[in-house]
A and B are shown apart, each in its own frame.
Chain A
Amino acid sequence: DAGVIQSPRHEVTEMGQEVTLRCKPISGHDYLFWYRQTMMRGLELLIYFNNNVPIDDSGMPEDRFSAKMPNASFSTLKIQPSEPRDSAVYFCASSPYSAGGSTDTQYFGPGTRLTVL
């Protein structure tokens, strides 16, 4: 199993351009998460989905950010227009449903390092 797959691994773009990050979760996992990692703020949850439905997007910083999950095996995080302060590592993670009442382990992708010039 390749685990959670993210693409691209690195993205360099210019301010004002549209950026699309992609994620393929582990097959059978019901939950998908998008995080942003920066030195100053650590790991921040942006949005998470359950069975392809967005459950909590309170961490999405601005209207410039949007996320979709059209099916169980694919999700995108889009930034339009991008700004230099969006430079960070963006992680996707997935998690199975836990019937025991507690949350289960999150499995992280390798991350996409975004640089906005």
Chain B
Amino acid sequence: AQRVTQPEKLLSVFKGAPVELKCNYSYSGSPELFWYVQYSRQRLQLLLRHISRESIKGFTADLNKGETSFHLKKPFAQEEDSAMYYCAHTSGTYKYIFGTGTRLKVLA
């Protein structure tokens, strides 16, 4: 079965430190990977998707098919990055599989 694994429920880092939120997926075909973010009292929203290959709010994510990973990275964390982050995967259909989420806390 298709699965998305986010091993960390909570990740705390200090402001200015690098951040890496881990995401692994299980799918043998050509996946589409996404990161969605939910800031406090805001709606869940798309942060970035692998096919766009862009950096949003300083975050990047590279699809590594060999390791079946799509880790989210930012070189210098900001306090406003504190939020709930979900990795998601589809296999070309509209059936999204989300991970269990990682809460990022950026400490001052």
CB distance from B86 to the nearest CB of A (A): 6
Instruction: Find out whether the CB atom of B44 lies under 8 angstroms from the CB atom of A45.
Output: no
Query: Given A41-B100, A42-B99, A43-B86 in contact, is the A108-B94 Cβ separation under 8 Å?
Result: no
Q: How many interface residues does chain A have, given as a range?
A: 20 to 34
Say whether B94 contacts A102, CB under 8 Å. Answer: no
B residues in contact with A109, CB < 8 Å = 43
Q: Are A102 and B46 in contact, CB atoms less than 8 angstroms apart?
A: no
How far apart are the CA atoms of A8 and B88 in the complex, in Å? 27
Contacting A at CB under 8 A, from B24-71, are 32, 36, 43-46, 49, 51
User: Interface size on B (CB < 8 Å)?
Assistant: 22
Contact B95 A43 (CB under 8 A): no
A109 vs B94: C-alpha distance in the bound complex, in angstroms? 17
Q: Is the CB of B96 within 8 A of A106?
A: yes
Q: Does B83 lie at the interface of the complex (its beta carbon under 8 Å from any beta carbon of A)?
A: no
In the bound complex, do residue B43 and residue A108 qualify as a contact, i.e. CB atoms below 8 Å apart?
yes
A35 to chain B, nearest CB (A): 8
12 A–B pairs (Cβ distance < 8 Å), ordered by A: A33-B96, A43-B86, A43-B88, A43-B100, A44-B98, A45-B98, A93-B44, A95-B94, A102-B51, A103-B93, A103-B96, A106-B36
Interface residue ranges, A against B (CB under 8 Å) = 3, 31, 33, 35, 40-45, 48, 50, 55-56, 91, 93, 95, 101-103, 105-111
Q: Return the 10 tightest CB-CB contacts between A and B, nearest first.
A: A42-B100, A43-B98, A108-B44, A105-B46, A42-B101, A108-B43, A103-B90, A31-B94, A103-B94, A56-B95
